[in-house]
Structure 1
Amino acid sequence: MPKSSKTKLAYQKAYNASPEQKALGVERRRERRHEIAAGKVAIGDGKDIAHKVPASAGGKTVASNLKVEDAKTNRDWRKGRSGYKVGVDK
């Protein structure tokens, strides 16, 4: 993987520190803990809690909008695509 530039790293640090991104991270971690307690996922199992309607497209972090998905599937769907639009699972 190529190294990120100093500019990119500085931008990413500021972006992740924004109140909106902090709030989204809190929601994601809360739901992950809930799913671990429910037995749907386990620590280190390689699974992600994926949004059916992405948060960036207005999806909420509620049980009806979440699904358990393999981490590779959840994070790798953009690979090799340019000009993609975030899809919505039905």
Structure 2
Amino acid sequence: MPYINKKRPHKKEYQQQLARGEHEKRMERQRLRRKVDKNGKDANGNGVADKREGKDLAHKKPLSKGGSNKDGYTVKSKSKNRSFKRNSDGSIKTRQYLAGK
């Protein structure tokens, strides 16, 4: 008899995300993307602001270090924004993110 994976407990996974605070952090990042897309110019009409095409929005003070959308953001390439050394919990190891200014 073949093995069949059991159904994923989506409701339980969502509750765990809420308990860990992942949901709120994701919503904060999503709010910033939506704000930039709403206010930015979109020449090709795909719903993404031209200055954000293929790039990441990097918070000047990372959310993991207590930053918020109000602290400001910059547009960076994906490789530059995701290349910081991380701790085991995913937070940035040093204040290296300020060195690139």
Q: TM-score, normalised by structure 1?
A: 0.60
Contact 1:48–1:68 under 8 Å retained in 2: yes
Q: What residue identity is the alignment partner of 2:96?
A: G
Say whether residues 1:39 and 2:48 are aligned partners. Answer: no
Aligned length: 72
| Whole-angstrom CA distance in 1 between matches of 2:55 and 2:27 | 18
Contact 2:59–2:74 under 8 Å retained in 1: yes
Q: Which has the higher contact order (CA 8 A, sep 6+)?
A: 1
Match 1:78 to one of 75, 85, 88 = 85
For structure 2, the 5+ residue unaligned runs are 1-12, 43-47, 87-92
List 4+ stretches of structure 1 deviating above 4 A. Answer: none
**Larger Cα Rg: Structure 1 or Structure 2?**
2
For structure 1, the 5+ residue unaligned runs are 1-12
RMSD of aligned residue pairs (Cα, Å): 3.0
Query: 1:37 Cα shift?
Result: 1.4
